[in-house]
Structure 1
Amino acid sequence: MQSEYGRAKLAMDVRATSLWTEWEQQLVEESDEKSLRSANGTIVILNTIGVPEIDSAGYSSIRAALDEYHEPYEDLDPEELDWLDPDPVSRPLKAMFIPNEHALNTQALLRGLATAFTRAQGTLVDAHVTDVRIAGDKTEGVVLSTGEILSSPSVVIAAGAASRDLLGALPQDIRERIPGMVSGYGVALLIETAEGRAPDSVIRTPNRAFACGLHAVPRENGRIYLGATNNISPEPRDTPAIDDLNLLLGCTRQLRKDLVDGRVDKIYVGNRPVPLDGFPLLGEAGVDGLWLMTGTYRDGLHQSPLLAQDFAARLTGKPHDTDLDVFTPLRAPIQAMSREECLEAAVQHTLALGYEHDWGIPVDWPPVIEDQLRRLYSEALDEFDPAFTPPPELLASASPEINEALHTYYRAYGERL
């Protein structure tokens, strides 16, 4: 909410929320699914884990956004919340209920989309795309891993964190002016609770520690989806890191003490698409007929009804939402934070990682660590570019591959300043 670009992304989320009821109903009618929804509303808690610069500020920002958009919510007494029974040192201080913020069973959603699509005479091709065919300044189609070629004058790349791998056919001067993509790799768990009982609503904290907050999402048969970690990685990953599993399992104490008696049914590993400047890539990619619909980071599934309608209009030449043009792929790096704001966010989120890991250190050590982090990140910022500042999670990643990608992207526009 501190920059025009962040507010534009928030506006997209709010508009997408208004589309979901009709979108869900249409998918249910056009598929074999009885329902896609898995939770009624969301309870946001502010507990004693984390740091006030992030958790308390995030909680206040949520309320400010709800007020601004006239979205209903109500304050709750955290001690009276059903299902929640945390360890005393993790107890919530505040809570609010957002009745229009629901959750979906994503497996049912994907089944419903596939069924509705094929019944509408769409064709699903079960093969990976390995390349995009471009001749001159026009798109001709795609090449499949089977060697088959699918011809089309229009191609939409919506492959999440893997989207960048399909831009190799673009001329270098165009490719370098599109933000590269890295992965927000994360782990989540499907847990069968000890009592076989899940909450009726989502229960979550605000975003913190570079991640999307601790959240428990009800699933069928008394299970919960527990998520989720977020680590910036140069490449997508498909196996969970032990450290992420340890963090999630340790976080169960923030929700219910007896979750340690439950059972892990499944481990999920996913990769969020994170552009080098942190904002979506929506629109044509420098050659006629090639489109990007990716880079949505944590918002893609939620924004899908909005983006689907908008891109259908763009591809068929109908009026589209020009507000999304701010996120055109061929762009100079979006600067949503000053260098000072980026530095402070990187320091505070890194410290929050320690508290979420329940570090046991002398009380006088955190200020020393904070001072060292500020010095380390400040030196790293000075090495990046005099004009451009990366998102704080990329600054804190300390990845040579990501640093080199940032330098390449910044050079493409630094020469034009």
Structure 2
Amino acid sequence: MSTNNSGDSKIFDAVVVGNGTLGLSLGLELARRGVQVAVLGKASRPFAASAVAGAMNGCFGEATPGLLQSEHGRTKLAMDVRATALWNDWEQSIIEASDERVIRSAEGTIIILNTIGVPEIDTAGYASIRAALDEYDEPYEDLDPDQIDWLAPEPTSRPMKAMFIPNEHAVDSAALLRGLATAFVRAGGTLIDEQAVEVLVDNGRATGVVLESTDVVSAPSVVLAAGVASGDLLGCLPPDVRARIPAIVSGYGVALLLETEDSTAPDHVIRTPNRAFACGLHVVPRGDGTIYLGATNNISTQPRTSARIDDLNLLLGSTRQMRSDLVEGAVHRIMVGNRPVPLDGFPLLGEVGIDGLWMMTGTYRDGLHQSPLIAKDFAARLLGEEHDTTLDVFTPVRKPIQALSRQDCLETAVRHTLALGYEQDWGIPVDWPPLIEEQLRGMFQRSLDELHPTFVPPAELLAFDDPEITAALSAYYRAHDEAS
């Protein structure tokens, strides 16, 4: 694989900042269409989400009550459904253009509803998954939980219900990234193993970027697809424009790569519904008796590269929900990733206040799955072709999107925070949870009231109660108040 990293000035038709799944997918799509394109980013991907993702082609398995009741949430679900239809051909095209022989790591997904968690989240989530499957007439079948191969949880964690979704798979994220990079270079694209530190603008139009080495990469189209780092490159914008773009925080997560004691792994993804602000407990086979166990989710203003002990404790304790003998396995790797989470919880897709500067990020947990869809759409946008106008609702300079009412946001924050305790099998007196719930509701209500009289943040940003995030939300809301 060739890499351009010379000290000379470089001139391209387009430059994509970010070498994760989204950035490489757009680069590949453009290169295949004859565009001279460079993709920038350190090969080590220090803060990437896709490099350590479980890489589930999660679509219906991600459905929740909040997603289905929101217009913008349903738009995201529709994007997931369209992306699913692209994946077979997309994966095959990458295999044919690279040295990868296999990218898919699991065939189909089993959803389990077990005795961990709370009905308002887990049972409601399970019902939402079925409702979404029925609405889209997607095939699935109910399973006898006791007859699921490989699954052998402790009795206190046994599943009560289960269903199989045959068209929701998973890929090996490392193989996918290798395949994308190889296919991109072979299609004529250029990889540059450096970070961008500044976007250049001349007469109201983006003209390229400055690299860490001070080299300049020139292009009339600059696409920011650098995940949590994308917002750091918006200093070129007028302050009033930048203030009306939701800042990006990190939804950092921890996952484990495990070798099972008997060297076996399931053929399918096995997962719970989304729970406690995270994407549910999930096991994804990775071959040779190794499994990916994920994942936690915490909101932070800064990306992380190391795992917190409490995240590891949560994951290690959750092994009992899948197989009681996983405690006898071996931990091959502790993985930490940073999901890009805009302050209103929805993607940032479109031009950014000046000609030629685009954002293609903020996809939270959906970016890898949606990558073929978003890449094809952005290629069309950059080339001035017909594109999917339904994605225009996620234009970066926008009024805050509100998926939940104030009351729903408050109740979601309370329920999910309490669910963290139940998920970790907290041992407290039986009369304490109502007292804790009352205290949480009062605390979150005060935070909501202090933030803004009408704007409502995503529930997880309210629940994590970080002063820096609160300040960022206040500034974002204030900018829109002043603009209106």
TM-score by length of 1: 0.99
1:133–1:140: 8 Å Cα contact kept in structure 2?
Answer: yes
State the structure with bigger RCO (CA 8 A, min sep 6), 1 or 2: 2
Q: Is residue 2:266 matched to residue 1:266?
A: no
Distance 1:396 1:116 in 2: 42
Partner in structure 1 of residue 180 of structure 2: 113
Distance 1:309 1:323 in 2: 14
Q: How many residues align?
A: 417
Match of 2:409 among 326, 331, 342: 342
Q: Is residue 2:92 matched to residue 1:21?
A: no
CA positional deviation for 1:13: 0.4
Q: Is residue 2:365 matched to residue 1:330?
A: no
Distance 1:197 1:404 in 2: 48
* 1:199-222 CA-partner distances (Å, limit 9, x unpaired): 000000000011000000001110
Partner in structure 2 of residue 405 of structure 1: 472
Amino acid at match of 2:357: L
Match of 2:370 among 287, 303, 319: 303
Distance 1:371 1:96 in 2: 35
Amino acid at match of 1:304: S
Match of 1:290 among 333, 353, 357: 357
Match of 2:308 among 230, 237, 241: 241
CA positional deviation for 1:358: 1.1
Q: Is residue 2:319 matched to residue 1:229?
A: no
Distance 2:170 2:346 in 1: 23
1:6-405 matched pairs, under 5 angstroms: 6-405=73-472
Distance 1:276 1:55 in 2: 25
Partner in structure 1 of residue 6 of structure 2: none
Query: SS of the residue aligned with 1:59?
Result: helix
CA positional deviation for 1:357: 1.1
* 1:134-157 CA-partner distances (Å, limit 9, x unpaired): 123110100111110001111000
CA positional deviation for 1:64: 0.5
Distance 1:97 1:110 in 2: 28
CA positional deviation for 1:108: 0.6
**Unmatched tracts of structure 2, length 5 or more:** 1-67
Distance 2:219 2:73 in 1: 34
CA positional deviation for 1:316: 0.6
1:132–1:142: 8 Å Cα contact kept in structure 2?
Answer: yes
CA positional deviation for 1:416: 3.6
Higher mean Cα deviation, 274-283 or 134-143?
A: 134-143
CA positional deviation for 1:415: 2.2
Amino acid at match of 1:328: T
Amino acid at match of 1:276: L
* 1:328-363 CA-partner distances (Å, limit 9, x unpaired): 001000011100000000000001100111101111
Query: SS of the residue aligned with 1:415?
Result: helix
* 1:262-298 CA-partner distances (Å, limit 9, x unpaired): 0000011000000000000000000000000000000
Distance 1:338 1:253 in 2: 36
1:141–1:154: 8 Å Cα contact kept in structure 2?
Answer: yes
Distance 1:300 1:223 in 2: 24
Calculate percent identity across the aligned residue pairs: 70
Distance 1:188 1:20 in 2: 24
Query: SS of the residue aligned with 1:54?
Result: helix
Distance 1:224 1:380 in 2: 40
Amino acid at match of 1:346: A
1:283–1:292: 8 Å Cα contact kept in structure 2?
Answer: yes
**Unmatched tracts of structure 1, length 5 or more:** none
Distance 1:301 1:57 in 2: 26
Distance 1:166 1:212 in 2: 29
Distance 1:381 1:237 in 2: 27
Amino acid at match of 1:258: D
Query: SS of the residue aligned with 1:270?
Result: strand
Distance 1:42 1:3 in 2: 25
Distance 1:279 1:215 in 2: 23
Distance 2:434 2:468 in 1: 30
Distance 1:394 1:34 in 2: 41
Query: SS of the residue aligned with 1:101?
Result: coil
Distance 1:330 1:137 in 2: 16
CA positional deviation for 1:371: 1.0
Higher mean Cα deviation, 324-333 or 131-140?
A: 131-140
Amino acid at match of 1:78: P
Amino acid at match of 1:252: T
1:279–1:327: 8 Å Cα contact kept in structure 2?
Answer: yes
Query: SS of the residue aligned with 1:124?
Result: strand
Query: SS of the residue aligned with 1:269?
Result: strand
Distance 1:220 1:88 in 2: 27
* 1:16-62 CA-partner distances (Å, limit 9, x unpaired): 00000000010011111111100010000000111100000000000
Query: SS of the residue aligned with 1:53?
Result: helix
Amino acid at match of 1:75: D
1:387–1:414: 8 Å Cα contact kept in structure 2?
Answer: no
Distance 1:105 1:199 in 2: 14
